[in-house]
């Protein structure tokens, strides 16, 4: 038998076996479903959900449809993922730099953090934090965190700007100020290209905007309202409240993920050969210029693939919250499947949703990678 024929036969067998198993499984599944009186179909998605979710970021009540409940669940997962990704990237980047500092205290601190993340299961960390909160927080009052924030068994409350009335003027001024700051920086870079000297426009713009914001706040303060949380026993009235479960999840996952991101940043920094530093110094660049122009751009390229996996891991680890009681997508889908008995459709939906989320993250990271190639 020639090689080509043999290859063809192997593949035919593999395909045949795969299809055969699939057919067998499908047949058994249909038989089992019939025996239990469950039908296949997607119309159940528009039926009334009929179950409650402990907390949601989108408005939800049990009268909403199943499909909306799933959307709410995805929203819950995405909020957690985005927040943890942002916080742990900053914290992890900082830790990664600390890890390679020559100060033994800071390097040891970062190292301990990394080893802790590596060697403990995340679900344990969440359970530990949750029970710690329960034991440390007073039962019948709220602990003040300073700056008007409160932490109690009911949740974390922070003061937030009430956007009614003149608050919205302040908010818009802040936005405009940000834009002015960025544009000033851009103009300064253009001028630097032309003359070689960077004018201090960005610093001046920043100072002016800051002054304006402060002045506006003072001038408008009679008319501004802050939604301040006020402690009423263990209850908190007002302010922006997140549940203890959410708080635990964010803090726990951030701490956990930061350890891994720190390692990624460290490996990225160390992978830049010494020669690059030396060439930059030999040209007369300062340490800061060398970091900014030569080292960090190269480091970003190196760390994008492992950062991609870490962000995907955050999505996966967000499902652990089932142990504490937050309603992420997995919990929502699971509850729906249990109520409607639509196991097959539900499974497919779960797989598709997580695939979609992870593919989106990979796509975004790829775009970031490409933008580095162009620059």
Partner 1 sequence: MTSDTAQASALPHPDFASPAIVMRGVGKNYGNFQALRGVDLEVARGERIVICGPSGSGKSTLIRCINHLEQHDAGQIIVNDMEVGSELKQLQAIRAQVGMVFQSFNLFPHLSILENCILGPTWVRKLPRAEAEAKAMALLERVKIPDQANKRPGQLSGGQQQRVAIARALCMEPSVMLFDEPTSALDPEMVKEVLDVMLELASDGMTMLVVTHEMGFARQAADRVIFMDQGQILESAPPEQFFANPEHERTRTFLSQILH
Partner 2 sequence: MSASAISSSARGAGLWRSLFGSRLNFALTVIFALLLAAILPIIVQWSIIDAAFFPAIPQTCETAAGACWSFIIAKHSQILFGIYPYDERWRPLIVCLLLLGLLIHSVRPTAWRPSLAAWWLVALTACWVLLGGGMFGLVEVTSDKWGGLPVTLILTVVAIGFGFPSGVLLALARRSDLPVIRLLATMFIEITRALPLLSILFIASIMLPLLVPEAFLPDKFWRALIALVLFASAYMAEVVRGGLQALPRGQYEAADALGLSYWQSRRLIILPQAVALVIPALTNTVIVMIKNTSLVLVVGLFDLISSGKAALADPEWRSPAVEVYLFITAIYFVLCFGFSRFADSLERRSKGSVR
User: Where along the sequence are the contacts to partner 1 (CB under 8 A)?
Assistant: 192-197, 273, 275-276, 278-286, 289, 293-294, 297-298, 301, 372, 375
Q: Assess 39 for contact with partner 2 (CB under 8 A).
A: no
Asked if 319 interacts with partner 2 (CB under 8 A), we say yes
Partner touching 172 among partner 1, partner 2, none, CB below 5 to 8 Å by kind: none
What's the CA gap between 84 and 311, in Å, rounded? 9
- Asked if 270 interacts with partner 2 (CB under 8 A), we say no
Minimum CB distance to partner 2, residue 72 (Å) = 18
Contacts of 320 (CB under 8 A, 6+ apart): 122, 123, 126
Pairing of strands 226-227, 230-232: unpaired
Contact (CB, 8 A) for 292 and 198? no
Rounded Cα–Cα distance for residues 257 and 88 (Å): 6
Q: How far is CA 53 from CA 49, 62, 80, in A?
A: 10, 8, 16
Q: Nearest approach, Cβ of 285 to partner 1 (angstroms)?
A: 6
Q: Which residue carries 């997140």 as its tokens?
A: 242
Of 95 and 280, which has the nearer Cβ to partner 1? 280
CA distances from 278 to 78, 98, 167, 174, 285 (A): 43, 21, 52, 42, 10
Query: Which of partner 1, partner 2, none sits in contact with 208, Cβ below 5 to 8 A by type?
Result: none
List 106, 270, 289, 369, residue binding partner 2 (CB under 8 A): 106
53: left (phi over 0), alpha (psi -120 to 50) or beta: beta
Of the pair 362, 369, the CB lying nearest partner 1 is at: 369
Q: Which residues pair with 185 in a beta bridge?
A: none
124 binds partner 2 (CB under 8 A): yes
Q: Looking at residue 55, what DSSP letter applies? A: -
* DSSP element (H, E) containing 158: strand 155-158
* Calculated CA dihedral for residues 316, 320, 325, 327, nearest 10 degrees: 10
Out of 20, 23, 25, 164, point to the residue binding partner 2 (CB under 8 A).
25
The nearest distance, CB 31 to partner 2, in angstroms, is 8
Residue 175 tokens, joined: 């936005």
86's contact among partner 1, partner 2, none, with CB below 5 to 8 A by partner kind, is: none
Nearer to partner 2, 202 or 317 (CB): 317
Does residue number 115 form part of the binding site for partner 2 (CB under 8 A)?
Answer: yes
Q: 82 is in the binding site of which of partner 2, partner 1, none (Cβ under 5 to 8 A by kind)?
A: none
Q: Report the interface residues with partner 2, using CB under 8 A.
A: 7, 10-11, 14-15, 18, 25, 28-29, 32-33, 101-106, 109, 115-116, 118-125, 127-128, 131-132, 134-135, 312, 315-320, 322-323, 330, 334, 337, 343-344, 346-347, 350-351, 354-355, 358-359
């Amino acid at each position: 038998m020639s090689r080509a024929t043999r290859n063809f036969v192997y593949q035919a067998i593999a395909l045949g076996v795969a299809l055969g198993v699939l057919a067998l499984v499908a047949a058994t599944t249909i038989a089992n479903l019939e025996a239990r009186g469950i039908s296949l179909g997607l119309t159940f998605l528009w039926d009334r959900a009929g179950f409650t979710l402990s907390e949601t970021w989108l408005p939800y009540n049990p009268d909403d449809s199943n499909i909306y409940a799933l959307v709410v669940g995805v929203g819950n997962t995405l909020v957690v993922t985005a927040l943890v990704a942002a916080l742990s990237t900053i914290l992890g980047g900082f830790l990664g730099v600390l890890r390679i500092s020559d100060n033994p205290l800071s390097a040891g601190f970062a190292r301990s953090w990394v080893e802790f993340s590596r060697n403990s299961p995340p679900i344990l960390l969440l359970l530990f934090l949750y029970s710690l909160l329960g034991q440390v927080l007073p039962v019948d009052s709220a602990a003040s965190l300073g700056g008007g924030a409160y932490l109690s068994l009911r949740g974390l409350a922070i003061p937030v700007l009430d956007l009614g009335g003149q608050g919205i003027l302040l908010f818009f001024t802040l936005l405009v100020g940000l834009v002015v700051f960025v544009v000033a920086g851009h103009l300064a870079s253009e001028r630097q290209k032309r003359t070689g000297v960077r004018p201090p426009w960005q610093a001046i713009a920043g100072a002016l905007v800051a002054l304006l914001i402060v002045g506006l706040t003072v001038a408008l303060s009679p008319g501004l309202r802050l939604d301040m949380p006020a402690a009423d026993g263990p209850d908190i009235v007002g302010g922006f409240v997140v549940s203890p479960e959410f708080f635990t999840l964010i803090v726990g996952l951030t701490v956990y993920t930061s350890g891994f991101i720190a390692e990624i940043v460290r490996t990225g920094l160390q992978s830049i050969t010494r020669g690059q530093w030396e060439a930059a110094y030999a040209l007369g660049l300062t340490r800061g210029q060398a970091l900014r122009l030569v080292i960090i751009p190269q480091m970003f390229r190196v760390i994008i693939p492992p950062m991609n996996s870490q962000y995907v891991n955050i999505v996966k680890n967000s499902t652990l919250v089932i142990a504490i009681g937050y309603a992420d997508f997995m919990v929502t889908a699971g509850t729906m499947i249990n109520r409607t008995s639509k196991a097959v459709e539900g499974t497919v939906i779960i797989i598709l949703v997580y695939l979609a989320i992870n593919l989106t993250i990979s796509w975004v990271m790829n775009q970031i990678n490409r933008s580095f190639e162009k620059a």
